[in-house]
């Protein structure tokens, strides 16, 4: 039952209609008997800082941050954890008692490490990363640790690729920019999709998707996910026999890290996983 002592946790982004974070975190709160609720709010860029201040004033536990605000969030917190500092993006803001945005963390990086570790071993060197925004920066940091060889980065804004290469540790001499729509001129092992493509409002260009998978990567990871069913990349990869990790796996692993920071409690992993799959926690 919601009452005056109920603590709020939030997700701020645009869009958020597809998000399974509320289902996952509220299931964990219920299981542990915590008087907390997790809600998603669609917030535009110009209202983002105002929304954060409001949550702080209400005594919220914290706020997850998703597209397109992860880099913006980095600039409004007082301190950063190691992964947020390294990748230049924040996906979790925790508040001081006075309501200010005290600390920014990036639990996406931990989630990506765990998700990449669930994929089959690589067959060759090299990876192709689609995107250069906040999610892609977290992915690049994890890829720098978990892969060898060149990291090809395709994005619509070449300047963002240059900034990503210059600011991320472990990419020196490995980052190779690509124009959007181009493919690496050499064999590569892993495809990581870190753009909004695949969300219900952002369909793929089918020809580009086919060319990517016809290049025969041995593994794929789609950071996007849909509330029900598979993304286009997941479906197309499975048809070709390419092992693919869903964005739901990333959501689970980053959610576990987020829950631990929000509550200082050990997350109920199985309950959170059931919630994402539409089980009892739905």
Q: What are phi and psi of 38, to 5 degrees?
A: -115, 125
Q: Is 194 a catalytic residue?
A: no
Separation between Cα atoms, residue 6 and residue 111, nearest integer Å: 28
Dihedral sign for Cα atoms in the order 244, 250, 251, 252? positive
Do 231 and 257 contact (CB within 8 A), yes or no?
A: no
277 is in an annotated binding site: no
Nearest to 76 by CA among 86, 65, 60: 65
98 is in an annotated binding site: no
Looking from the CA of 73 toward its CB, the CA atoms found within 13 Å total 37
Do 193 and 12 contact (CB within 8 A), yes or no?
A: no
**What is the distance of C-alpha 140 from the center of its chain?**
12
223 is in an annotated binding site: yes
Cα dihedral 34/276/194/267 (nearest 10): 30
Token code pair at residue 65: 């941050």
Q: Which residues pair with 184 in a beta bridge?
A: none
254 is in an annotated binding site: yes
Separation between Cα atoms, residue 191 and residue 119, nearest integer Å: 12
**Residue tagged active-site, from 70, 74, 176, 248:** 70
111 is in an annotated binding site: no
274 is in an annotated binding site: no
247 is in an annotated binding site: yes
19 is in an annotated binding site: yes
20 is in an annotated binding site: yes
108 is in an annotated binding site: yes
Please enumerate, by residue number, every residue annotated as part of a binding site for shikimate.
19-21, 66, 91, 108, 225, 254
Please enumerate, by residue number, every residue annotated as part of a binding site.
19-21, 66, 82, 91, 108, 131-135, 223, 225, 247, 254
Please enumerate, by residue number, every residue annotated as part of a binding site for NADP(+).
82, 131-135, 223, 247
Residues recognised as catalytic: 70
């Amino acid at each position: 039952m919601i009452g005056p002592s109920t603590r709020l946790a939030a997700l701020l982004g645009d869009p958020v209609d597809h998000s399974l974070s509320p289902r996952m975190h509220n299931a964990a709160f219920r299981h542990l008997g915590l008087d907390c609720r997790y809600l998603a709010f669609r917030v535009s860029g110009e209202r983002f800082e105002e929304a954060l201040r409001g949550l702080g004033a209400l005594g919220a536990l914290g706020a997850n941050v998703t597209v397109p605000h992860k880099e913006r969030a980095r600039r409004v917190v007082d301190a950063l954890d190691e992964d947020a500092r390294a990748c230049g993006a924040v996906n979790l803001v925790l508040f001081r008692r006075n309501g200010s945005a005290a600390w920014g963390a990036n639990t996406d990086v931990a989630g990506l490490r765990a998700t990449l570790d669930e994929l089959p071993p690589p067959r060759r060197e090299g990876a192709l990363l689609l995107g250069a925004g906040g999610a892609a920066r977290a992915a690049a940091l994890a890829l720098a640790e978990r892969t060898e060889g060149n990291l090809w980065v395709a994005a619509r804004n070449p300047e963002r690729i240059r900034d990503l290469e210059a600011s991320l540790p472990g990419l020196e001499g490995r980052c190779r920019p690509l124009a959007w729509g181009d493919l690496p001129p050499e064999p590569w092992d892993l495809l990581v999709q870190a753009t909004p493509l695949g969300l219900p409002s952002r369909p793929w260009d089918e020809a580009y998707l086919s060319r990517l998978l016809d290049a025969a990567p041995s593994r794929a990871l789609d950071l996007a996910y849909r509330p029900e069913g598979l993304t286009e990349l997941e479906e197309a990869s499975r048809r070709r026999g390419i092992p693919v990790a869903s964005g739901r796996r990333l959501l689970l692993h980053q959610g576990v890290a987020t829950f631990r920071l929000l509550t200082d409690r050990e997350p109920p992993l199985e309950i959170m996983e059931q919630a994402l799959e539409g089980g009892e926690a739905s």
